[in-house]
A and B are shown apart, each in its own frame.
Chain A
Amino acid sequence: MTIYTMTIITKNEARHLLKQMMQIRQFEDAIMDLMARNIAEGGSHLYAGEEACAVGAMAAIRKDDYITSTHRGHGHAIAKGGSLPELMAEILGKETGVCKGKGGSLHLADVSKGNLGANGIVGGSIGIATGAGLSIQLRGADQIVLCFFGDGATNTGLFHESLNMAGKWKLPVVFICENNLYGMSVSVERACAVNDLTKKAAPYNMPAECCDGMDVLAVKDTVAKYAALARKGDGPAFIVCNTYRYYGHSRSDPRIYRTKEEEKSWRDRDCIMAFGRKMQEQTVLTEKEVADLEKEVTAELEAAVDFAIKSPDPKPEELYRDVYFEM
């Protein structure tokens, strides 16, 4: 049973949060469909179910702040302001993609939006986030970095090395662990020596807090609190968002390591449904407004998919371009 608290939220903000979550959900569903039709090749790790984490977190920071993302990075890229057609084209490996078709799903990046990239290596971006934080400190800027990663990544060496460095140097990085209970097929319980992941930040001299990753406002409030501290020069923090991925780890995953009941119990708490309902209960949005928003997003996604499919493949001369910067 969820206890709803009254939250003061404007119609505009509610629309924005709901719309972004819908965009991510429909984006991922569109990719599912493209994979089934063999139009999208290769792997895609889908973010469906976890939308509240990216959307809530991004709502708590500024446009000029940085993020680093993961192999499950479509949601972060959209929430950080990425263009749906360009992101979709990238996933199809097209010339018009945000990385010119060279990165793909695993390497979605949008430097112009402060998104320093998804990563094919689990934990691979935690060092990059730490370095972006160091750069902010050295430049005397007042930006911050949100570093996203999964529960599985907390078992990598780079996680521990980076948190130690950020903790020691008081870098403006908020580390956000999206705990969806599994790293591929291995549960937190089977992989980690501790189940309470907030404990993993304990040796590194930073505050750690858990929040409901299915509640977009809870994520936003938690991230806002630690983002403000980081921006003030008080150093890093570690946030664990409890969440769940709806689909398998990747397309071929038969999901034998979890139960249908568990899946249902999380879907019953779906972040989009819950937030839409809450906004209606609090008379911030009407039922019609929610339905209209959904239609608006569907039209956007159709246009994005159409753009991506119709876009040309990269030209052969692109093969050797971009390996080095040339004057």
Chain B
Amino acid sequence: MREITYRQALNEALSEEMERDQSVFLMGEDVAVYGGAYGVTLNLMQKFGEKRVRDTAISEAAIIGAGLGAAITGMRPVVEIMYIDFMGICLEQIGNQVAKIRYMFGGKTRVPLVIRTEGGAGRTLGAHHSQSLESWFIHVPGLKVIMPATPADAKGLLKSSIREDNPILFIEHKMLYNVKGPVPEGEYLLPIGKADVKRPGKDATVIAYSRMLYSTLEAAKRLAEDGIEVEVIDPRTLLPLDMETIAESVRKTHRAIIVEEDTKTGGTGAEIGMQIMENCFDELDAPVLRIAGADIPMPKSAVLEKLAIPDADRIYREIKSLVM
């Protein structure tokens, strides 16, 4: 299969869906002329025109609000918030309006809105451009939260998201845009809410998503050299979580580890770990382990930034000491 980057896979998904459905349009800061801060929407304005690929002012709350208004009145907007760190500005619109409107209206409306954003550390951009804030959103019933790690997952899940009649928060990772991988051409849809076993194993279940999937797979390879076979599961969708796939694996391995880049306290791992306890407590031979980011604002210094988030080395060491 041909290999393209995560960025190209996303661009292809947007382009195909815009061709397929006239009601799909894009809107956000620097998405049109510039092609997106990270180049995801490159050339789409040239292809589909300024009406369907719209540069907005720096107005995150209005981007979300207008996206919602358009979504409940016949359009399928895909809006971009340049960095997840800027979500605070539009959190009201997402939390109170986007996520709740269908329920509050007694199920009488649908919200086919995709909010694309990116997060994560790795570029030494400091505390306002490096956060992993997914756990803010898995606390919001009514939203679906997707975090693809591979180019193929990025394409398949973005296409499905655009066709979904529920609001989706689609979180990319700034360090993955140049990652290459095989991606099917044309129609390729992946189910939302379905995890993927990225590496089979029997000694422990490691749940890892977004950029941490790569560090975890690297650690898994080294563990295999030591004779430890871990099963690596990428939930891909964090809300709703595919507990079935995770529980099935834990029942087999009897150990569970969650690797996450976000800050540990109140993080995604807390939720996944608790669900594992609720579902497979009797199966566990060891406490659920979280390997997570430090509970601090992200520092600028490259040295401190590296210490603040898990890397393959730390994942390897911590899993090894749990399994041995």
Contact = CB atoms under 8 A, between A and B. Distances in A.
B125 A42 contact: yes
Interface in B234-281: none
B61 A103 contact: no
Nearest to A153: B58
Contact of B295 (A155, A313, A316, A323): A323
Contacts of B302: 41, 93, 313
B300 A183 contact: no
A192 interface: yes
A319 interface: yes
Contact of A93 (B34, B37, B127, B301): B301
B317 interface: no
Interface residues of A, number: 43
Interface string A74-100: 000000000000000010011000010
Interface in A120-159: 120-124, 152-153, 155-158
A62 B297 CA distance: 33
Interface in A275-314: 313-314
A205 B285 CA distance: 68
A156 B29 CA distance: 12
A168 interface: no
A269 interface: no
Interface in A154-189: 155-158, 183-186
Interface in A100-116: 101-107
Interface string B136-156: 000000000000000000000
Interface residues of B, number: 34
A62 B89 CA distance: 33
Contacts, number: 133
B33 A156 contact: no
Nearest to B59: A155
Contact of A155 (B58, B296, B297, B301): B58
Given A153-B58, A155-B57, A157-B89, A107 B127 contact: yes
B303 interface: yes
A107 B37 CA distance: 20
A318 B304 contact: yes
Contacts of A155: 57-59
B251 to A, nearest CB: 37
A119 B307 CA distance: 24
Interface string A218-231: 00000000000000
Contacts of A119: 128
B126 interface: yes
Interface string B292-320: 00111101111110011000000000000
B33 A104 contact: no
Interface of A: 41-43, 90, 93-94, 99, 101-107, 119-124, 152-153, 155-158, 183-186, 190-192, 253, 256-257, 313-314, 316, 318-320, 323
Pairs A-B, 3 closest by C-beta atoms: A120-B128, A104-B300, A155-B57
Interface of B: 29-30, 33-34, 37, 55-59, 61, 85-86, 88-89, 123-129, 294-297, 299-304, 307-308
30 contacts: A41-B123, A41-B124, A42-B300, A43-B125, A43-B129, A90-B300, A102-B127, A102-B300, A104-B300, A104-B301, A107-B300, A119-B128, A121-B86, A121-B89, A121-B128, A155-B57, A155-B59, A156-B58, A156-B59, A157-B61, A183-B58, A185-B55, A186-B57, A190-B55, A191-B55, A191-B57, A191-B58, A313-B303, A314-B304, A319-B296
